Amino acid sequence: MPLTSQKEGDMIKSFRFVIVSLCLFTAASLLTGCGSGKKEGVESPLGQATRVGSESCTNVCHAATVDVTGDQIAVTWANTTHTTVDNVQCEDCHGPASLHWGVGPIPFPTPESAQCQVCHGKAGFNATAHDNQHIPGGVFGPDKFFFQGDALNSGQATIQGVPEFLPDGVTPVTHAEHIQECSRCHNPKQRFEFANGDASGELVKPDPNNMPNPEVGCAGCHDAHQTQQMVTIPQRTSPVGYPIFRRYFIDPATGAQVNSNDPNGQHLAGFIFQPNGAAIGGTVSGKNNEINVERTCASCHTKGKYQYSQLPTHQENVYTQWTNSGHGTRNDPAFAEFSANPPAYTNPDTGETYPVGTHAPSYPIDMALSKFGTTANTTQNAGNNVYACFHCHNGIGSNVWQEDAQGTPDADVVFGDEPVTCITCHAPHGNPTGTTHQVKVPVKMTQYSSSSITINGNVFLDNTPLPPLDKTGNGTICIFCHQGRESGLTLYVTKLAAGKTITGSFFNPHYLGTAAMLWGVNAYEYAGKSYTANFAHQGANCPTCHMANPTDDNLNGGHTWWPNVATCNVAACHGGFGSIAADPTSDNGPASPDVANYRASFDTNNYTGDPGGASLSIADSIRVLQQKIIAIFASRGVEYDDLHYPYFFQAGKPHTSANAFTQWTPSLYKAAFNLSFSIKGLPSGAESQANVPNSSAAVHDYKYVIQLLLDGYEDLTGVPLAGAFRPVGTRPATVYGPGQ
């Protein structure tokens, strides 16, 4: 055993002590094993501890020791990348163990994130709510006693000032019991032991006189003894690592933690790799290509029950709200069509399964392959570069684009389907400047490249600057996916500039460009015209309207992103204009503001030019203008159908790709682009969005959309729409180039 530097006489004395100690330990071990396992003890005269080697831990005392999920620590540790690649040893995390031997102290019995940061350098994690030390009076709270004052069983616990009882309503829940149940989320690595073997006795571990501060830490999400595994895939010459997430005993229906004796409980963990390899081979069965990173977050960010009182816990039902959202609905086209096995999902609008199309990936998708060029083949990304779509259509692939790492050696490998999930929007290892709740700020908002133009930086797709972060705030991440995939600028340089070919398939701005609408950008703007924006809604930003006031049924507000009527119907905004009836099948959400019928009493403008136009709702006014544009198209041999791609077809022929309209003129193309920009603010469901009041355009920026439609009408006919009021512009059109 190595010793610290001492004088020779002291070395001899210490060596004799070590021999005696080891003999005593060996004799005691034969009788009692490795001691109590509670790590109690006093300081040894040896002084500074030294290392004993991992074999002493895994082969002697802890060969059969299991962790909180029932896994054998020695087995999982031996198979992790820590061991097989980086040669990390037990004492690298737990500290030197020469004073331990089952009965003495060990430096880090439950390593905190500071030990992980020695190697991993996640210093930004220190500023997050998860790692914050929750000291009394700190920013995040609670304090280390969870507001109970002490950790002994000498008093009754309270929940927000209300005395807490067991379900019998008579037996008090003690302070120690309450601290234990709160620790399931606020200090999940900590084990609790009581003198009687159950919570009726006095708390002995952790030391009630030296309680640890609450901290989620690295091991709150990552499996502490098996942090990562390696897999060999065709795309890489060396094995690729994938993280192993901690398992929690939860109710799979709700995602909330439950007691280990709950018959409905299961050990579930977030995972990013299918261990059965089903998705690796390019063939999948059912939905086993799904990955579920959000499950780890769900264990704490879902309303569950306190362990002892069985009362509902205090947190919001974030995970349940997310499952009711478009972000978390795997059956919706945005994710089902981009799954490895589309027929495993049912279209919520038609009830039909999805056909296998060009969007279906074959995992794994290596995000390090170049987006451009012919880098994909039968062994690299299964012959396709569908990962370009993962910018938005895969919640893990999107992270690579947000970090601007696509096509570089730093990019990740994606092992399965994942919708927009927790870590798509929230930064798990840092706290970005300018946002709250660890909401991400993409490194680059736009990465666009074609043979005609490259747009790369913190700009919109029309190359205009993003608003300052103090204006976009937590809504910045929304722009990343919700500005569409084309703009008036890209249309101009690709199709309309001098020397370009104007014929061919429709140049599609894509779905849900609502962030572009909100900020009044990315449509085709006509030279000589001026444009404006919905400044009031820009000030509110995306989270104010889409995330405020979650309802008790978890169908509106919060992480459902369905606007709650209570958000809009406040005195400072649209107080009292009503709501639509609850309808789970509605594209406007189960219960939403009645924006389809809304018209401010002070707005007496006639936007359509028709008799009675001033009394139409804003959403209906936009619908009427859209119909006027569609009628002009029909008179020129073009039929519009937003339910079938590519949306514009030769008149009188079936609406299939073979009959797509391709004989574009500049005026037709500009008006078609803006028509799609307006209508595709929401994807078409079973019913065409062209035939209903355009609530999405009305809400996000009705002035900008009305200006665009009126300008398209004028460009198509040569005269302004008679009797129609065009909203006053506040800025000139974005300049694309000559002949715009």
Summarised one tens digit per residue, pLDDT across range 73-98 is: 899 888 888 888 888 999 999 888 88
Answer whether 393's CB lies under 8 Å from 256's CB: no
For residue 79, tell me if it sits in a domain. yes
Closest listed residue to residue 678, CA positions, set 642, 716, 636: 642
pLDDT digit string (tens) for 120-138?
887 788 888 888 766 655 6
Domain count, the chain: 2
pLDDT at 28: 31
pLDDT at 7: 31
Average of per-residue pLDDT across 680-687:
79
Window from 220-224, 444-448, 524-528 with minimum mean pLDDT: 220-224
User: Rounded to whole angstroms, how far apart are CA atoms 100 and 684?
Assistant: 65
pLDDT at 696: 92
Residue 663 has pLDDT above 50, yes or no: yes
Say how many CA atoms lie within 13 Å of 442 toward its Cβ: 29
For residue 589, tell me if it sits in a domain. yes
For residue 75, tell me if it sits in a domain. yes
First-last CA distance in the chain: 81
Average pLDDT of the chain is 84
Both tokens assigned to 21:
């100690």
Both tokens assigned to 524:
């085709």
pLDDT at 591: 53
Rounded percentage of the chain residues whose pLDDT exceeds 70: 86
Please report the sign of the dihedral spanned by the C-alpha atoms of residue 466, residue 625, residue 649, residue 393: positive
Q: What are the φ and ψ backbone dihedral angles of 156, each rounded to 5 degrees? A: -85, 135
Closest listed residue to residue 231, CA positions, set 278, 270, 271, 275: 275
For residue 653, tell me if it sits in a domain. yes
pLDDT at 282: 60
For residue 97, tell me if it sits in a domain. yes
Q: Which of 86, 109, 132 is the last residue of a domain?
A: 109
Residue 733 has pLDDT above 90, yes or no: yes
Bridge partners of 439, per DSSP, are 426
User: Rounded to whole angstroms, how far apart are CA atoms 321 and 589?
Assistant: 13
Window from 26-35, 160-169, 336-345, 414-423 with minimum mean pLDDT: 26-35
Average of per-residue pLDDT across 691-716:
95
User: Rounded to whole angstroms, how far apart are CA atoms 318 and 265?
Assistant: 19
Answer whether 212's CB lies under 8 Å from 190's CB: yes
Average of per-residue pLDDT across 104-129:
83
pLDDT digit string (tens) for 198-209?
777 788 888 888
Name every residue whose Cβ is closer than 8 Å to that of residue 237 and which is 6 or more positions away in sequence. none
Closest listed residue to residue 477, CA positions, set 493, 504, 458, 463: 458
Answer whether 242's CB lies under 8 Å from 229's CB: yes
pLDDT digit string (tens) for 146-171?
888 777 777 899 988 899 999 999 99
pLDDT digit string (tens) for 326-382?
999 999 999 999 998 999 999 988 899 999 887 888 888 888 876 444 455 555 666
Q: Which of 54, 82, 109 is the last residue of a domain?
A: 109
Residue 629 has pLDDT above 70, yes or no: yes
For residue 120, tell me if it sits in a domain. no
Average of per-residue pLDDT across 519-524:
98
More confident residue, 579 or 328: 328
For residue 508, tell me if it sits in a domain. no
For residue 598, tell me if it sits in a domain. yes
Q: Which of 60, 89, 109 is the last residue of a domain?
A: 109
- Domain range enclosing 30: 8-109
pLDDT at 133: 64
